[in-house]
């Protein structure tokens, strides 16, 4: 008998687990975020005082003084850094130049005490691979955050059957690279799966055999697993890949998803906004969606999650991370904090303002510019909107944000006959216009209809864009329609990336618009071959 079935058949044990969940949720909701941030700041500084970074920046002198004095000194001593700057200044400072971006650095007492034994490996679009340090302390903090999120869900939904079932975790690559004895690098999801507590194994699908398959085969195998294992009650993953999985289930089963997956209770999603995908997700379930919870994870830190019944995520400043915030207006043309930019702690943020996130973490990242942006809609609690990466459409000086781009596509999908599966937008600088590539399900759709909706939405959302359009400084956008899987085929063929935790950039991040050019040329070539 499996562990899940033993729990199903044990009423007293289930009652104990739900009682513990309610207790944990109550404790979570009683925490003071501002007090927690000050405590975390002091703990991080004290813990790292003897590291090379701590000695370089006088951390020893920051202990035992008031938070305000210590934070003022900290801001004055430690500059905001990107990954590239950390790589040069600390991660690879004593290592051969040839190893930079090709192998995980050797970090022992450099920016965090002890040896970093796990690295989250991410491949950038315009830079070498990043090897983000992932300490044992951060691993424990992430596990605590996940438990708090599930506890809050169970407390808000006493009839939940989640504890009677399993989670389908749509991971990325599950292969790990052995850097040296006891040190590993790989996809965040691979590290999470490999080093998760043993007692969670019976509750997590798919198993190692399916997880190791190439993406197309893995998608098929996960769909068949989801259809045949009625104990799977939760799906966790990135929105576009969740939708692909659900569509495959419907194709295989040939019936409505609510009939095929009656026990599916919860979808946990993150990594990219669900806004442009919401219309298709609702249509898949005929408007009767499972419960949805959004979270804001990253290779660097766990930052926010949504509670059932609340419209937005709450910032979660309790898990080994000290947060600072730089106004979006103080980012330069490359989306980085300008030299004059000031950062503020959580206690000084303002609602309605869009901020770039700056993190100091228990993995040894200090004033690290992560590249994500958020907007606070409340300070009690700290509700946030994820507003995308801090890169934005600015080649024509318009500064259109990723959130505005995603809202434009969401509006297009709400028109009824449009069903945009995936998309990307970039700039055609010589023609002074935006270039959109839309992957759509239906044939016979008119470019002009899409152009009008996208253009009108951006004019309504962004005053600069509206002004530039009215002055003729930006011309009407150009729209290219490709098959619904067209962008995924390009990503696999040209980037070698598809599925799992991989995200399609919605705004071309390259300085020369080379990504949107590559996408358009790829499909132009395919169209020419088909003629």
pLDDT at residue number 333? 65
> Three-state SS across 196-263?
CCHHHHHHEECCHHHHCCCHHHHHHHHHHHHHHCCCEEEEEECHHHHHHHHHHHHHHHCCCHHHHCCC
Residue 393 · residue 461 · CB < 8 Å: no
Q: Are strands 321-327 and 343-345 parallel, antiparallel or unpaired?
A: antiparallel
Question: CATH fold of 1-321, please?
Answer: Rossmann fold (3.40.50)
Kindly write down the DSSP assignment for every residue of 407-421, as one continuous string: HHHHHHHTTSS--EE
Domain boundaries along the sequence of the chain: 1-321, 402-530
Contacts of 302 (CB under 8 A, 6+ apart): 141, 142, 145, 146, 295, 296, 316, 319, 321
**How would you list the strands of the sheet with 176-180, edge to edge?**
129-133, 118-123, 183-186, 176-180
Q: What is the dihedral of CA 501, 507, 508, 510, to 10 degrees?
A: -90
Kindly list the distances between the CA atom of residue 442 and the CA atoms of 106, 254, 316, in Å, as whole numbers in the listed order: 51, 19, 41
For the beta carbon of residue 184, count every other beta carbon within 10 angstroms.
19
Identify each DSSP E strand in 23-170 by its residue range: 118-123, 129-133, 166-169
Answer yes or no: are the C-beta atoms of 508 and 424 closer than 8 Å: yes
Pairing of strands 232-237, 166-169: parallel
Of 182, 55, 40, 50, the C-alpha closest to 113 is 50
Whether omega before 23 lies within 30 degrees of 0, making that bond cis, reads no
d(CA 151, CA 3): 20
Contact present, 245 and 222 (Cβ < 8 Å) = yes
Q: What is the pLDDT of residue 272?
A: 78
Which run of H or E residues covers position 383?
Answer: strand 383-389
State the DSSP code for 108: B
Enter the DSSP assignment of 477. Answer: P
- Report the candidate in 92, 117, 141, 45 with the shortest Cα–Cα distance to residue 366: 45
Distance CA 401, CA 394 (A): 9
The answer to whether 80 and 74 are in contact (CB under 8 A) is no
User: Per-residue pLDDT for the chain (531 aa), expressed as one digit of tens each?
Assistant: 454 454 454 567 778 888 899 999 999 999 999 999 999 999 999 999 999 999 999 999 999 899 999 999 999 999 999 988 988 899 988 776 656 667 888 899 999 999 999 999 875 544 457 899 999 999 999 999 999 999 999 999 999 999 889 999 987 777 788 888 889 988 887 888 888 877 778 889 998 888 888 878 888 999 999 999 999 999 999 888 898 899 999 999 999 999 999 999 999 998 878 887 888 889 899 888 999 999 998 889 999 999 999 999 999 999 999 999 999 889 876 678 887 889 999 999 999 998 999 999 999 999 999 988 899 999 999 999 987 776 678 777 787 888 889 899 999 988 867 888 899 999 888 888 999 999 987 766 788 888 999 999 999 988 888 888 888 888 999 999 998 888 888 988 887 766 666 678 888 877 778 889 999 989 887 766 655
Contact 269, 296 (CB under 8 A): no
b/e code 64-93 from CB counts within 10 Å (16+ = b): eeebeebbebbbeebebbbbeebbeebbbe
Q: Give φ, ψ of 237 to 5 degrees.
A: 175, -165
Residue among 346, 352, 358 nearest 316 (CA): 346
User: Would you state the pLDDT for residue 528?
Assistant: 61
* The two three-digit tokens of residue 349, written as one number: 């943020």
CB neighbourhood size of 198 (10 A): 6
**Residue 329: alpha-carbon gap to chain centroid:** 22
The pTM score is 0.81
Q: How many CB atoms lie within 10 A of CB 406?
A: 22
Query: For residue 518, how far is the Cα from the chain centroid?
Result: 24
CATH code linked to domain 402-530: 3.30.300
- The pLDDT value recorded for residue 499 is 64
DSSP H or E segment with residue 440: strand 433-440
Is residue 385 classed as helix, strand or coil in its secondary structure? strand
């Amino acid at each position: 008998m499996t562990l899940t079935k033993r729990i199903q058949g044990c009423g007293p044990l289930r009652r104990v687990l739900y009682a513990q969940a309610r207790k944990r949720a109550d404790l979570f909701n009683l925490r003071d975020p501002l007090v927690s941030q000050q405590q975390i700041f002091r703990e991080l500084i004290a813990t790292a005082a003897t590291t090379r970074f701590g000695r370089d920046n006088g951390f020893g002198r920051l202990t035992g003084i008031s938070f305000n004095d210590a934070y003022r000194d900290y801001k004055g001593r430690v500059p905001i850094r990107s990954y590239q700057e950390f790589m040069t200044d600390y991660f690879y400072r004593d290592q051969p130049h040839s190893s930079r971006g090709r192998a995980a650095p050797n970090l022992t007492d450099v920016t965090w005490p002890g040896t970093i034994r796990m690295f989250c490996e991410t491949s950038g679009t315009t830079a070498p691979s990043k090897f983000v340090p992932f300490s044992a302390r951060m691993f424990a903090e992430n596990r605590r955050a996940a438990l708090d999120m599930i506890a809050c869900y169970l407390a808000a939904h006493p009839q939940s059957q989640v504890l009677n079932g399993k989670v389908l975790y749509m991971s990325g690559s599950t292969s790990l690279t052995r850097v040296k004895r006891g040190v590993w690098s790989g996809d965040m999801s691979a590290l999470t799966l490999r080093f998760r507590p043993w007692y969670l194994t019976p509750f997590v699908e798919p198993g190692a055999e399916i997880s190791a398959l190439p993406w197309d085969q893995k998608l098929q195998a996960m769909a068949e697993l989801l259809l045949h294992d009625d104990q799977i009650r939760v799906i966790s993953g990135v929105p576009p890949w969740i939708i692909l999985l659900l569509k495959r289930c419907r194709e295989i089963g040939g019936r409505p998803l609510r009939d095929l997956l009656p026990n599916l209770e919860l979808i946990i999603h993150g990594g990219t906004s669900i806004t442009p995908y919401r219309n298709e997700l609702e249509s898949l379930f005929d408007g009767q969606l499972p419960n949805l919870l959004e979270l804001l994870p990253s290779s660097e830190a766990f930052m926010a999650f949504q509670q059932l019944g609340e419209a937005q995520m709450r910032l979660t400043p309790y898990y080994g991370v000290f947060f600072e915030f730089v106004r979006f207006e103080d980012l330069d043309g490359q989306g980085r904090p300008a030299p004059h930019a000031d950062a503020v702690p959580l206690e000084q943020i303002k609602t309605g303002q869009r901020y770039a996130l700056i993190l100091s973490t228990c993995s040894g990242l200090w004033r690290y510019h992560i590249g994500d942006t958020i907007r606070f809609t409340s300070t009690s609690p700290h509700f946030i909107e994820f507003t995308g990466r801090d890169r934005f459409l600015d080649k024509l000086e318009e500064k259109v944000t990723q959130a505005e781009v995603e809202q434009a596509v969401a509006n297009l999908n709400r028109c009824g006959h449009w069903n945009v599966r995936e998309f990307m937008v970039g700039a055609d600088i010589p023609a002074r216009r935006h270039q959109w590539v839309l992957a759509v399900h239906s044939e016979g759709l008119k470019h002009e209809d899409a152009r009008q909706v996208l253009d009108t939405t951006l004019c309504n959302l962004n005053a600069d864009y509206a002004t530039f359009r009215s002055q003729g400084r930006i011309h009407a956008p150009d729209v290219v329609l490709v098959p619904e899987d067209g962008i995924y085929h390009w990503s696999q063929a040209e980037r070698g990336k598809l599925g799992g935790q991989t995200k399609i950039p919605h705004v071309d991040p390259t300085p020369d618009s080379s990504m949107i050019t590559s996408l358009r040329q790829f499909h132009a070539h395919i169209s020419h071959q088909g003629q």
